[in-house]
Amino acid sequence: MGSVLSGVGRFAYGARRGIRNLATVALLLSGTQAIAEPITLAALGDSLTQGYGLPQEDGFVPNLEAWLRAQGADVAVMNAGVSGDTTAGGLARVGWTLTPEVDAMIVALGGNDLLRGIDPAASRANLDGILREASGRGLPVLLIGLPAPGNYGPDFQRDFNAMYPELAETYDALYVENFLGPLTEGDQAQALREDMQEDGIHPNANGVDKIVAALGPVVMQLVERAR
């Protein structure tokens, strides 16, 4: 079943690219200059995406957009992060988040599911619904996870951690294991001092810079898929 859905996803956004290319050729043949529009990415997430506790310009989304543009990509990144949102909240609003101009989506949800101890089966079903919606619209996706701690037990940890890579494979999505990965490698005490806000949960401006630098190259792959 996974391979079938994966093939459908690739066909859908492959066909979408083909239609765009045909439209561009038609404009050139007619003597009309084609004006390329920027690629629009929707970043669907929670407070980590939204930029909780930071001035707007220091948040994840504006910094990611600036990083991509510095690499020469004509990209606009839409901030669809809502503080406190769960995977259920993301599923409830994905339909109206994916407006006609959206070309691809970043999905970074699950942290609040962890904080609330929500059954991984429910979180998985919600993420599946989000990815199915994007696939149905022919949109490529980057899925970004968070690792579960062991305090809910080994079964919870196993099921939660497995859902991200398995869903990414099913829907042929790009995948990053840990949104906060760049801050959790090495000296944890130093990371808390230098890269995190006082709550120990959300990155500060320095931490956002490190996250963007690590995620940026993968997001560039997403941009290429959306062309």
Active-site option among 58, 123, 202, 209: 202
Task: List the beta bridge partners of residue 39.
Answer: 75
Q: Residue 109: is it exposed, middle or buried by C-beta count within 10 angstroms (0-12/13-18/19+)?
A: buried
* Token digits of residue 71: 């690499």
* Token digits of residue 85: 């949102």
User: Is residue 13 predicted with pLDDT exceeding 80?
Assistant: no
Active-site option among 6, 135, 199, 209: 199
User: Is residue 19 predicted with pLDDT exceeding 50?
Assistant: no
The pLDDT-based confidence of 87 (bands split at 50, 70, 90) is very high
Domains, the chain, with CATH or none: 2-226 (3.40.50.1110)
Where is average pLDDT lowest: 14-23, 141-150, 185-194? 14-23
Specify the length of the chain in residues: 227
Active-site option among 47, 103, 113, 123: 47
CA 163 to chain centre: 15
- Supply the pLDDT for residue 170: 98
- Supply the pLDDT for residue 190: 77
Q: Catalytic residue at 74?
A: no
- Supply the pLDDT for residue 6: 41
Q: Catalytic residue at 58?
A: no
* Token digits of residue 176: 């990053």
Query: Residue 75: which residues within 8 A CB-CB, separation 6 or more?
Result: 38, 39, 40, 41, 65, 68, 69, 223
Number of neighbours of residue 37 by Cβ within 10 angstroms: 11
Q: Catalytic residue at 47?
A: yes
pTM of the model: 0.83
